[in-house]
Amino acid sequence: MNFTGPTTPGGGSLPGVTVPLVSFYVDGPGSNVPVGGQTQLRVATLKGQSLVNKELLVINEQQELMYADSPAAPFQIKRYNDGTLGGFDFNTAVGPGSFVSGDRYDIFIVGINNTIDI
């Protein structure tokens, strides 16, 4: 199922806050776009936007991916930030534990966080 929401934001929107910082399809066009089966998104930039030192809200096909270490639950991810790369890792113990070809992802910035989380 592919996302069918609006394709253009309304006036006065703040990129990354009220509209996605970045949107992509798995296996889609663009630099650093994940491929099906990949379990991590660790990049300095994605489609020209920095993911380093950011708190991210990640939406997969309108399903929010939750940050947690335990207990294991579906749609669970762990923040990744080493100061030069940012992003997240899937919890591979629960589904979906990896990127699925054709799925749409929307990433929003919800804050700045310089904590090193790897």
Mean pLDDT, the chain, whole residue set: 84
Domain coverage including residue 60: 22-112
Q: Taking 60 as the threshold, does the pLDDT of residue 109 lie above it?
A: yes
Strand-by-strand arrangement of the 104-112 sheet: 22-25, 104-112, 54-60, 63-64
Number of independent structural domains in the chain: 1
In this predicted structure, which of 2-11, 38-47, 96-105, 107-116 has the lowest mean pLDDT?
2-11
The answer to whether residue 14 is domain-embedded is no
Phi, psi dihedral angles at 14 (to 5 degrees)? -100, 110
Q: Which residue type sits at 58?
A: V
Summarised one tens digit per residue, pLDDT across range 39-95 is 999 999 988 889 999 999 999 988 899 988 677 788 899 999 999 999 999 988 887
